[in-house]
Structure 1
Amino acid sequence: MSASRGLRHASLALVTLTLASGCGLGSGQSADSTSDAAKGEVKGQITFQTLQLKPDFTQYIEGVIANFEKKNPGTDVKWVDIPFQGAQEKITADAAAGALPDVVNLNPQFAQALQAKGLFVDTDKAAADVKDTFVPGAWNAFSVPGKTGSYGLPWYLTSEVTMYNKGLFTKAGLNPDTPPATFDELLEAGKKISAAGKGAYYGIHPALENRFITDLAKQGVPILADDSKTWTFNTPEAETYLTKLIDAYRSGVYPKDSLTQNHSKETEAYQAGRIGLFPSGPNFLKIIKENAKEIADQTGVGPQITGPDNVTNMSVMGLLVPKASKNSATALAFAKFMTNAENQLAFSKIVTILPSTTASLKDPYFTDTSDGTATSKARAISAGQIAKAKNLVPVQYDERVTKAVIGKIELALKGDLTAKQALDQAVAAANAITAK
């Protein structure tokens, strides 16, 4: 497995890992654990758990661990890496048993259900000394809406760019040097590419499961009320946008068999030259190059598609310290070390991800596009977006809510529901789930 493939599985945890409710806190939890983490002595053994980073990043991770142990004599970091498959079940079971590792690698969506039970050390307090070194949007991703505090240190990030097939742009009469920047431009470009393709290729893949709610948020649609319990995305603006998607599907902008397909199928379609536009993380450029060099050679990149306020989204992965850790001081010190600017910059140079520290992002590596490659351009674009980007999808938008909402949106695109009916029913279904 290549490095880019290895991290692809871990990166999927940024958007796909979810957690069933009802987990217990487990035992061994100290009421003063946040204070202990901030002031305790850094020594002894801890366990550090990641998501499918072996074997591609073994040398890097083990190098950071060795440096930490050298700088902190008497410490011993045991690294455990678990496969993406089955991770949800394992972490759920470990949390219920009070057996989570001392430092755990999670995304906000997954971790929030545990933090709702008060499971993790408050990093707003315990790591206040490093808070200002992180991109604000990344730090704020690890907070529970309606509550004070934060519960994780941001680690690596992704910020979507717009990849597109320059050859298909030219065939459609579009300027191959001018990618779309807005949702209307995206749909218009998609329409022209599909018309030129006449069934051989299409403009866009919908990838509703991954994109629909995020795209609403980018356009200023309020997704969740201030009470953090009531879904509110059935607005006139959302209805207008969904109507545009319905028209696009019915007019052949999307492949007919793509309605229920996910991001993986979208990736396959772009690599096969069957779609012209592919909004996704820049880390997928390496995957495209490995699997379809001819398509990679024709690929251009542009900024993330945004709404009128130019709000961009980011996906976040972080490191969290459970309150139940018997060595929270060492665990927090290690999490700080792993996520510091130097170590994040080194990690970002191994694979196409972004660091969450502002100092790392100032490195010329994220601004130099002199080699003229799509990869360096994508890196510069995504890095430039990060400073003001946010994790736009509410942490409560979990697997259950996603399935209910997207099911209604699919019915609208097929013509079984109007845009308003679909949104109203989606909100009702989401509220019913969240109320439980």
Structure 2
Amino acid sequence: MPSSRGTRLASVAAALGVLTTACGLGGSTDGGTGTQAANKPGAALKGTVRFETLQLKPTFTTYIEGVIASYEKKNPGVDVQWVDVPFEGAQEKMTANAVAGTMADVVNLNPQFAQALEAKGLFVDMDKAAKDVKADYIPGAWDAFTVPGEEGSFGIPWYLTSEVTMYNKEQFKKAGLDAEKPPSTLDELIVAGEKLSKAGKGKAYGLHPALENRFITDLAKQGVPLLDESGKKWTFNTPEAAAYLGKLADAYKKGVFPKDSLTQNHSKATEAYQAGQIGVLPSGPNFLTIIKENAPKIAEATGVGPQITGTSGATNMSVMGLLVPKSSKNQAAAVSFATYMANAENQLAFSKIVTVLPSVSAALKDPFFTDTGDGSAEAQARKISAEQIAKGENLVPVQYDERVTKAVVGKVQLALQGKLAPQDALDQAVEAANRITG
């Protein structure tokens, strides 16, 4: 059974599911006032700020309360009230609050989660309200809260993850693969997967497709244009995309994926890796901790490598952010608190208690991310992911929400089962996606 700590770490990853002071870091360190763009020059901040997070209690209570206490000390006129809600049902609750005009002053959301609300223009434009700190952040992380074809950014990046390649060295050896050289491209991944599956003889497979989580990202990595220049029309039914889907269908036919995997998500892929049922797991470094707790022998056999990429060489990142609704009656203090929570010092501290990455460029220069430390898989993954994320992007447009995902993946599943030709599947997927977002 997964440990409670491992389960909570998974929740942090899903939602994407100790205060120390670091020397020499940049970011918003102006006494906690953050940006002045939302305030009158010299005006003291005051009032109440309600801060709502997704499933961070009780694991991170000490850390969050410590940041709040530090902020309130620097800004004695502000009272920050922290509310934490379970990830399950949070979207429905947030939507209901938006309709009622009762959203918290600062909310913790990922871009896809937030975009349905942003489509209604509900959030403060941080390109304007937090313009003084924008340059502190990794460009790809800041841009994650932009809508293609529209101006402005509706969130401040908070914590990030950047996928690495975890692989079972023992299974690589049995398959005649180089145990020190994991696949680095999608094509290499499929080739390695076929060899691993042959060696597994029906008991272990090469990899898990995790279509819900990976398919559209993998298209983006290969340079497939997901949307047109206006950001209004889906366009991923290209010949190149159809060729890739054809490769996946062929891999499924050859037994590279477990037979029951087509309808399963990333959590099932993680379970399969922990059980020794698949040889490769592209995932966030935070899952190394979960694997170590739940499957120590698999963890011992696990090696790590850079994120698997496509022809474009692009690397993806997952982003969690802090957003300020326009309905907030205390926007100045809310923006100020959000920039303080997400500054370099506080993000670095958070990264040292949970395996995530900071979105502020200066924090990534800390030795915690530039050294391999004890040489463990966790330390290596941390260094690899930090190097990647400096140039990483959130490759999936915010419009690719749960509704679009379901429609697209349904067609892709039919293609893998041989019930639809790859091009037909993508044509139908694009048509369905455009109906949903059109």
TM range (shorter): over 0.9
Identity %: 69
Matched, 1:256 2:259: yes
Residue in 2 aligned with 1:159?
162
Matched, 1:108 2:131: no
Q: Distance in 1 between matches of 2:95 and 2:9?
A: 22
Q: How big is the shift at 1:146?
A: 1.2
Give the one of 255, 273, 278 matched to 1:275.
Answer: 278
Q: How big is the shift at 1:125?
A: 0.9
Q: Distance in 2 between matches of 1:292 and 1:80?
A: 34
1:4 touches 1:351 (CA, 8 Å); kept in 2?
A: no
Matched, 1:411 2:421: no
Letter in 2 for 1:207: A
Q: How big is the shift at 1:3?
A: 4.4
Q: Give ranges in structure 1 of 5+ residues lacking alignment.
A: 16-33
Q: How big is the shift at 1:2?
A: 4.4
Q: How big is the shift at 1:119?
A: 1.1
Q: How big is the shift at 1:304?
A: 0.5
Following TM superposition, the consecutive aligned residue runs of length 4 or more in structure 1 with deviations greater than 6 angstroms are: none
Corresponding pairs, count: 417
Residue in 2 aligned with 1:18?
none
1:7 touches 1:52 (CA, 8 Å); kept in 2?
A: no
Residue in 2 aligned with 1:332?
335
Residue in 2 aligned with 1:75?
78
Alpha-carbon spacing, 1:355–1:35, altered in 2? closer, same or farther (3 Å): closer
Query: SS of 1:257's equivalent?
Result: coil
Residue in 2 aligned with 1:10?
12
Q: Distance in 2 between matches of 1:227 and 1:146?
A: 5
Residue in 2 aligned with 1:174?
177
Q: Distance in 2 between matches of 1:36 and 1:202?
A: 54
Q: How big is the shift at 1:4?
A: 4.6
2:13 touches 2:286 (CA, 8 Å); kept in 1?
A: no
Q: Distance in 1 between matches of 2:251 and 2:223?
A: 21
Residue in 1 aligned with 2:33?
none
Normalising by the residue count of structure 2, what TM-score does the alignment of the two structures yield?
A: 0.93
Q: How big is the shift at 1:74?
A: 2.0
Letter in 2 for 1:434: T
Q: Could you report, residue by residue, the CA deviation over 1:206-230 in whole angstroms, capped at 9, with x for unpaired residues?
A: 1011000000000000001122221
Normalising by the residue count of structure 1, what TM-score does the alignment of the two structures yield?
A: 0.93
Alpha-carbon spacing, 1:196–1:38, altered in 2? closer, same or farther (3 Å): farther
Q: Distance in 1 between matches of 2:53 and 2:12?
A: 8
Letter in 1 for 2:12: A
Q: How big is the shift at 1:143?
A: 1.2
Q: Could you report, residue by residue, the CA deviation over 1:162-211 in whole angstroms, capped at 9, with x for unpaired residues?
A: 00000100110111100000011101110000000110100011101100
Alpha-carbon spacing, 1:36–1:374, altered in 2? closer, same or farther (3 Å): closer
Q: How big is the shift at 1:10?
A: 3.0
Alpha-carbon spacing, 1:285–1:6, altered in 2? closer, same or farther (3 Å): same
Q: Distance in 2 between matches of 1:232 and 1:405?
A: 12
Q: How big is the shift at 1:36?
A: 4.5
1:3 touches 1:351 (CA, 8 Å); kept in 2?
A: no
Letter in 2 for 1:336: T
Q: How big is the shift at 1:370?
A: 3.8
Residue in 1 aligned with 2:22?
none
1:141 touches 1:390 (CA, 8 Å); kept in 2?
A: yes
2:16 touches 2:318 (CA, 8 Å); kept in 1?
A: yes
Matched, 1:133 2:136: yes
Q: How big is the shift at 1:37?
A: 5.0
Q: Distance in 2 between matches of 1:258 and 1:187?
A: 15
Letter in 2 for 1:6: R
Give the one of 228, 232, 254 matched to 2:231.
Answer: 228
Give the one of 191, 199, 206 matched to 2:194.
Answer: 191
Which residues in structure 2 correspond to 1:19-418 (within 5 Å)?
Answer: 36=38, 41-418=44-421
Q: Distance in 2 between matches of 1:38 and 1:4?
A: 45
Letter in 1 for 2:293: E
1:7 touches 1:53 (CA, 8 Å); kept in 2?
A: no
Q: Distance in 2 between matches of 1:403 and 1:79?
A: 33
2:344 touches 2:363 (CA, 8 Å); kept in 1?
A: yes
Letter in 2 for 1:185: E
Q: Give ranges in structure 2 of 5+ residues lacking alignment.
A: 18-35
Q: How big is the shift at 1:130?
A: 0.4
Residue in 2 aligned with 1:24?
none
Letter in 2 for 1:12: A
Q: Distance in 2 between matches of 1:231 and 1:128?
A: 31
Letter in 2 for 1:240: A
CA RMSD, aligned part only? 1.4
